[in-house]
Structure 1
Amino acid sequence: MMLLYTIGIRLYFVVIYVASLFNQKASQWINGRKNQQFIRINNCIWFHFASLGEFEQGRPILEALRTRHPDKKIVVSFFSPSGYEVRKNTPLADFVYYLPLDTAKNATQFIDAIQPEMAVFTKYEYWYHFFNQLHKRRVPLYIVSGIFRPKQIFFKWYGGLHRKILSFVTYFFLQDEASKQLLQSIGVTNTAVSGDTRFDRVWANAQHPKEIPGIAQFKNDQKLFIAGSTWPQDEALLATLPALYPDWKFIFAPHEIGEEKVNNLVNLLPSITTARYSELIQNSKFKIQNQDATTHHSPLTTLIIDNIGMLSSLYAYADIAYIGGGFGVGIHNTLEAAAFGLPVIFGPNYQKFNEAKQLITLRAGFSISDVNELKGIVETLIGDEAFYSVTSKKAAEFVREHIGATEAILGQIDS
């Protein structure tokens, strides 16, 4: 099995290398690892995140340990460029790296350099050689906000090597009881159901959101629909809404902001009433929306966010949210919007996300499969104030009732 694992890791590298010849993200993945050098330090706290979403998920623990141990160096590693490129200069870490490819040599060199006294991995990413090195050196390794599903390789007859990886973990802090039961079924008992640290993060963000230049002026005291982390399949449906609700403002924050992706979105929307955020703040196009009927300008009703890092604060300005990804492999973060009391709408592929299923049960979240279902739920939320009010309240209460995972975890790893 180790041979197959090694071959799989090497093949993955080859695929990414070939893709890097024509894909920017893959190029960043290759070049970022090729050029980095590790600074030798002693007794750091190492946090690893797959990507940006996991960084935000584990951030409450990172912030808490940073505050509690200001003398300790913090090392953060990312697997994906979408995490590294956005957070490579975060003040929460002393060093930020791409995680090297999981080989015995790379794992030894990396851990020799950073000399961690504790390692914290958020949600998932189980790498044999890195975990093995930590285990050999008796460095405590914690999985926080972990979640498991029956179809994962750990629970298959051929998953022996991956079960071995789990044996290197000091303790699992899990999101739900189902994950605990799954791990117990394969003999893993060093677990606790502590909840999901994302609730702590999004609730804290909702209490103190950042002001984003120009957004209040763009909204102009009108109702605002925000579509966050959208993909082309989502956008094809959502593009029908601005014409149906001319009294509303719309913000699209696509998951990918490459020039081609943004241009395709621009072409779906009425060009005369749509602007990119970068253009708007540079050219003072905010003035357009307040022109009276005697001018020749049309009001600006739709804004496309063409940068990364604003979405979690944008929800503070909104009234309804659509969360993208549900027509692909799965929806993005619904909790960021729900924490602000926003009803959340998303596509059909949400089954892997417990919070989405719970929001649906509460009638604070709504799954749609086509444009007619999208129009139907939007019309209900806009047209029925009583229903909207109850839905909004349930969304916020759902998040508030699930905070506390951070303190539960810190009570064990930092006692």
Structure 2
Amino acid sequence: MSRYSDWREGLLRGLYNVLLYLLLPLVLLRLYWRGRNEAGHRQRWGERLGYIPALPQAGCLWIHAVSVGEVRAALPLIRALRVRYPEASLLVTTTTLTGSRQVLDALNGQVHHVYAPYDLPGAVRRFLQHVQPRLTILMETELWPNLLRGCALSGVPVLLANARLSERSARGYRRVQPLTAAMLRDVTLIAAQSEADTGRFRALGAPRVRTVGNLKYDLEVPDSLLEQGRALRRELFGDRRPVWIAASTHAGEEEQILQAFMAVTARWPDLLLLLVPRHPERFAAVAGLCEQQGLSLVRRSERRACPPETAVFLGDSMGELLLFYAAADLAFVGGSLVPTGGHNVLEPALLGLPVLFGPHMFNFNEASERLLAAEAAWQVVNAEALAVAVDRLLAAPESRRGAGERGKTLVEHHRGALRAFLESIHPLLRSRFE
């Protein structure tokens, strides 16, 4: 590396740190503000600054998963690590409150959990000194300069699991190329989801990248889940109503979904919309939006069955999305009618549902393209096209079930990323935990 590159990296790192410290009061203020509707945002701030409660032992295996989606992707990996390395203490960190709740719901008592530190030099140093991880696994694209440099200086190997990098994100990283290259050199191994992701990481200067596949294909669904979904449907919705789930929706999408729903109910008046917003703090606002449209509403939190006139069932709970999928006939996956990048389309496919999604799927390009090619999913561009697609699927139950079967088969066919990842890191883990 040239002196000029070293100088540019140092300058960018310094500017980055100054910016973080300047933004910290605003970040904490935002947490406090969000705590108006959800008190959890005002709790455990010390963990975000590197002050964490005592852990039973230092030298753990640390897995960081930002939020709900990353936690779900990490669950098969975490469970496999517990089986293969039972003597290893596992620490799972998240960034968001919803991610924290997902860890506690799915793994309570099996792992330790705290919030990850903000990428401030002092916070990272305090965290690493206290935890002293033997190995760090970061889910997807968690590239934080101070965290990665802190691990490198402490001799802690860092593995980037289920790594993905869209072309849009790669363009952003190229704008700070010296700092990006330095971060990637601090990563021991990048286990990429696809060859395209591998190529983009290498183009940015990553020296150690391997394509292992997408861990989200390795999601295990218990056999009892489908029966639980059918039981929930009988209890809350009745046996005869068709059920359309619109899951992980964002602001700007619910309006389009409700517009499509009202268009479809002109032909299918018994249709029930199972609406599940992505973020809990938006539950009340989405309920208000339904009521503004004159749609009768039952909320999951009410714990009561839907009367026949109910139009919308609002899934205002945490940890039940798979159960809701299992209670539905077809699925729309949100974050895709707005430029968020989409959410996990493999979950409803694995449960045998035909899948609909919008045009913005850059976070799930490969998975969505595979489902489209298998005719297990359909992409829509707006509310009108969404209504047409839902109507078509409701009118053809055999075609709908066939699409669901094709999607389930596709997901099962592409399993194996978990095994490949474990094989890739086994020598490193064996030297530390055996």
- TM category, shorter: 0.7 to 0.9
Mapped to 1, the partners of 2:191 and 2:52 lie a distance apart of 32
Q: How far apart are 1:94 and its partner, in Å?
A: 3.4
Question: Which range moves more in the overlay, 178-187 or 136-145?
Answer: 178-187
Note the 1:203-352 alignment, pairs <5 A: 204-205=220-221, 207-209=223-225, 211=228, 214-222=232-240, 223-240=242-259, 241=261, 243-244=265-266, 245-258=268-281, 260-268=284-292, 270-272=294-296, 274-279=297-302, 281=303, 285-286=304-305, 289=307, 298-328=308-338, 329-352=340-363
Mapped to 2, the partners of 1:318 and 1:76 lie a distance apart of 32
- Structure 1 residues 93 and 139: CA distance shift in structure 2, 3 A: farther
Q: How far apart are 1:129 and its partner, in Å?
A: 1.9
Alignment check: 8 A CA contact 1:239 1:268 kept: no
Q: Report what 2:126 is aligned to.
A: 109
- Structure 1 residues 270 and 78: CA distance shift in structure 2, 3 A: same
Which of 182, 186, 190 is matched with 1:164 structurally? 182
Alignment check: 8 A CA contact 1:225 1:251 kept: yes
> CA offsets, 1:88-130, max 9 Å, x none?
4633643211111112222121111111111111101112222
Q: How far apart are 1:364 and its partner, in Å?
A: 1.9
Tell me the TM-score normalised to structure 1 length.
0.88
Q: How far apart are 1:380 and its partner, in Å?
A: 1.4
Q: How far apart are 1:248 and its partner, in Å?
A: 3.1
Mapped to 1, the partners of 2:301 and 2:129 lie a distance apart of 43
Which of 11, 15, 36 is matched with 1:4 structurally? 15
Q: How far apart are 1:207 and its partner, in Å?
A: 4.2
Mapped to 2, the partners of 1:157 and 1:347 lie a distance apart of 29
Q: How far apart are 1:29 and its partner, in Å?
A: 5.1
Alignment check: 8 A CA contact 1:257 1:307 kept: yes
Q: Report what 1:39 is aligned to.
A: 54
Q: Tell me which amino acid in the other structure corresponds to 1:378.
A: V
Which of 17, 20, 34 is matched with 2:28 structurally? 17
Q: How far apart are 1:366 and its partner, in Å?
A: 1.8
Which of 189, 192, 203 is matched with 1:174 structurally? 192
Secondary structure of the residue aligned to 1:209 is helix
Q: Report what 1:192 is aligned to.
A: 210
Alignment check: 8 A CA contact 2:247 2:332 kept: yes
**Number of equivalent positions:** 399
Secondary structure of the residue aligned to 1:205 is coil
Q: Tell me which amino acid in the other structure corresponds to 1:82.
A: T
Alignment check: 8 A CA contact 1:350 1:357 kept: no
Q: How far apart are 1:182 and its partner, in Å?
A: 2.0
Secondary structure of the residue aligned to 1:233 is coil
> CA offsets, 1:391-414, max 9 Å, x none?
222211221111111111111223
Mapped to 2, the partners of 1:195 and 1:268 lie a distance apart of 44
Mapped to 2, the partners of 1:382 and 1:2 lie a distance apart of 54
- Structure 1 residues 119 and 332: CA distance shift in structure 2, 3 A: same
Alignment check: 8 A CA contact 1:363 1:391 kept: yes
> CA offsets, 1:179-214, max 9 Å, x none?
21223334434221110111101xx12645273674
Stretches of structure 2 lacking an aligned partner (at least 5 in a row): 1-11, 428-434
- Structure 1 residues 93 and 163: CA distance shift in structure 2, 3 A: farther
Tell me the TM-score normalised to structure 2 length.
0.84
Q: Tell me which amino acid in the other structure corresponds to 2:400.
A: Y
- Structure 1 residues 23 and 320: CA distance shift in structure 2, 3 A: same
Mapped to 2, the partners of 1:103 and 1:312 lie a distance apart of 36
Mapped to 1, the partners of 2:180 and 2:204 lie a distance apart of 11
Question: Which range moves more in the overlay, 16-25 or 57-66?
Answer: 16-25
Alignment check: 8 A CA contact 1:62 1:92 kept: no
Mapped to 2, the partners of 1:168 and 1:344 lie a distance apart of 39
Matched, 1:408 2:417: no
Question: Which range moves more in the overlay, 344-353 or 384-393?
Answer: 384-393
Q: How far apart are 1:268 and its partner, in Å?
A: 4.7
Matched, 1:379 2:391: yes
Alignment check: 8 A CA contact 1:38 1:113 kept: no
Mapped to 2, the partners of 1:247 and 1:321 lie a distance apart of 17
Mapped to 1, the partners of 2:222 and 2:217 lie a distance apart of 11
Mapped to 1, the partners of 2:293 and 2:236 lie a distance apart of 17
- Structure 1 residues 186 and 126: CA distance shift in structure 2, 3 A: closer
RMSD: 2.5
Which of 60, 66, 76 is matched with 1:50 structurally? 66
Which of 374, 387, 394 is matched with 2:406 structurally? 394
Secondary structure of the residue aligned to 1:55 is helix
Which of 84, 88, 103 is matched with 1:72 structurally? 88
Mapped to 1, the partners of 2:164 and 2:353 lie a distance apart of 25
Alignment check: 8 A CA contact 2:163 2:191 kept: yes
Mapped to 1, the partners of 2:116 and 2:39 lie a distance apart of 15
Q: Tell me which amino acid in the other structure corresponds to 1:408.
A: A
Q: Tell me which amino acid in the other structure corresponds to 1:356.
A: S
Stretches of structure 1 lacking an aligned partner (at least 5 in a row): 290-297
Q: Report what 1:59 is aligned to.
A: 75
Alignment check: 8 A CA contact 1:48 1:76 kept: yes
